[in-house]
Amino acid sequence: MFKRFHYIFLTGFICMIIGSAWAAEEFIPPICEVVVYTNDMAYVIREGEAVLSDGECILETTTDILGGSLSVVSFDPEIQIKEITASKSSVETFGSWRNLAEFFQANIGKRLRLTAGSEKKEGMLRGMAGDSAIVLEDSAKKETLVFPLTQITGYAFLEPVELHPTREKVQLKLLIDGTVEERCGLGVNYLTNGLSWSPLYHLALDGENQGELSFKAIVRNQLEDLNGVNLQLVGAVPQLPTGLTPLVKWDDPTEPSVCVPRGGGAFVVDLLAEQTQSELLADDISIESVSSLTLYQKESFSLKKGENAQISLFNGLVQVTPVYRLDLYRASLGAELSKSEVWKGYRIANSSDFLWTAGPIFVTVNNKPQGEVIMTTTPAGEAAELKLTKEEAVLAKVSEDEFERVQGSLVYKQQEYALVQVSGQIELVNTKDEPILIRVSHKIPGEVNRTSDDGTIKKSPSPVQGPNPQSVITWEINLPAKGEKSINYTYQSYI
């Protein structure tokens, strides 16, 4: 008995030594800093001390390394990374399948016996019918059957199955040059998926002309646990690679990474004349400008994988103007004139030195919800317009009439066009007991000749091929209480 115990103890001790020696070569440095974008991408910065064996160490990662972003650097100028070799393997996670469909999907091609109501069948699991049914090949009748998962009351596989999900592990073997030391400080940086953030605004109006704008960041972590990292949030997304680095591609290593331009902008800090940036920012938030990007930084940030966090970035007072809105559109003279409902919203002045990045904004008036809309990207010195609720107390009527037509006025791409002159009128009625400001916008399939009430005209190429430009007339009309107003315009279009 003693000899047997001694043998087991000695064997376990030797295995522990061998396992420790192998583990010493593996290098999984902790994340110390992450630069997070709004498109489910993050630049991860890892730092740690690698244990070397004959000038080599193993870096293990289960994350995707995108494009040419991988950088492995030594903190010792006399030490260089001579070569990086990549390999991959599958590792059982010992976690649980999220649902029965995933379990069956992982065990396609295996034999099983199942019960579905009063039926008992045995055969080969051939596949899935979506996420809600399995496809079974009946061994006895040689027929293919489909069983919804909700009807399966019992099952038993007749051969070994995949009990736990697996993950793909990538190992990078680093060949270190220039040292005989056993340890080496290294930094590993790369772009990857799994971390993202999005802006969230809340405008609390106290009356109609002033309110408090708060800006929060929602951080989502599907990468790995973050412990005390330096978090940097970037609103503008430059061109970033979406494909894996060729170093970890085995199926098609020649396939290039694709750079996709992403929309967005820098961050916003809302500053009134008497406010300073430091008064508005949260106590643990700082701002750094790198080239054309603005980054919000938060030190000692921790978030477990699978969790989301809401971070307060700043709060500030903003000047607000209630604005009513009417939008008109006509694609061509042969198309119907489209008229929207009259909407009420608010114009928020960005008096800061920063761009407001696009994001959802929830609006309350005297603590009563008014709605949530997407606030568009708003440069400093400009204003964001929020279209919130339909307004039935402001009426609008629009009419357009042709008053002249000249045949054969233009030949464009070997086709003859007639020149048509059109006059239009917009009648506005305010039934409210208070004056309002209404913004009227009209997209016109032609060139504007005349407009009343200081309407501004913006001309651009037509979205459809043809001789006509697309013009947009915009009016801002102060409409008195119980008042009416007629707006007139004329334009020409070739048909």
* Pair 193, 66: CB distance under 8 Å: yes
Looking at residue 321, its pLDDT comes to 92
Contact residues for 48 (Cβ-Cβ < 8 A; gap 6+): 27, 28, 29, 30, 185, 186
Q: Which of 55-59, 268-272, 433-437 has the lowest mean pLDDT?
A: 268-272
Tell me the per-residue pLDDT of 148-179, one tens digit each, with 9 for 90 and over: 988 888 999 998 887 777 666 666 777 776 65
Looking at residue 259, its pLDDT comes to 34
Q: Which of 11-20, 91-100, 283-292, 299-308 has the lowest mean pLDDT?
A: 11-20
Beta strands across the sheet bearing 415-430: 394-412, 415-430, 484-494, 447-451
Counting Cβ atoms within 10 Å, is residue 312 exposed (0-12), middle (13-18) or buried (19+)? middle
pLDDT exceeds cutoff 70 at 392? yes
* The token pair that represents 68 in the structure block: 């040419």
- pLDDT band with cut points at 50, 70 and 90 for residue 271: very low
Looking at residue 66, its pLDDT comes to 82
Question: In the chain, helix, strand, coil percent, each to 5?
Answer: 10, 60, 35
Contact residues for 369 (Cβ-Cβ < 8 A; gap 6+): 362, 363
Q: Which of 27-31, 227-231, 362-366, 373-377 has the lowest mean pLDDT?
A: 27-31
Q: Which amino acid is at 346?
A: Y
Global pTM reads 0.66
- pLDDT band with cut points at 50, 70 and 90 for residue 474: very high
Tokens 């290039």: give the residue: 256
Tell me the per-residue pLDDT of 143-152, one tens digit each, with 9 for 90 and over: 888 889 888 8
Most confident range (mean pLDDT) of 87-91, 138-142, 425-429 is: 425-429
Tell me the per-residue pLDDT of 116-129, one tens digit each, with 9 for 90 and over: 888 888 988 988 88
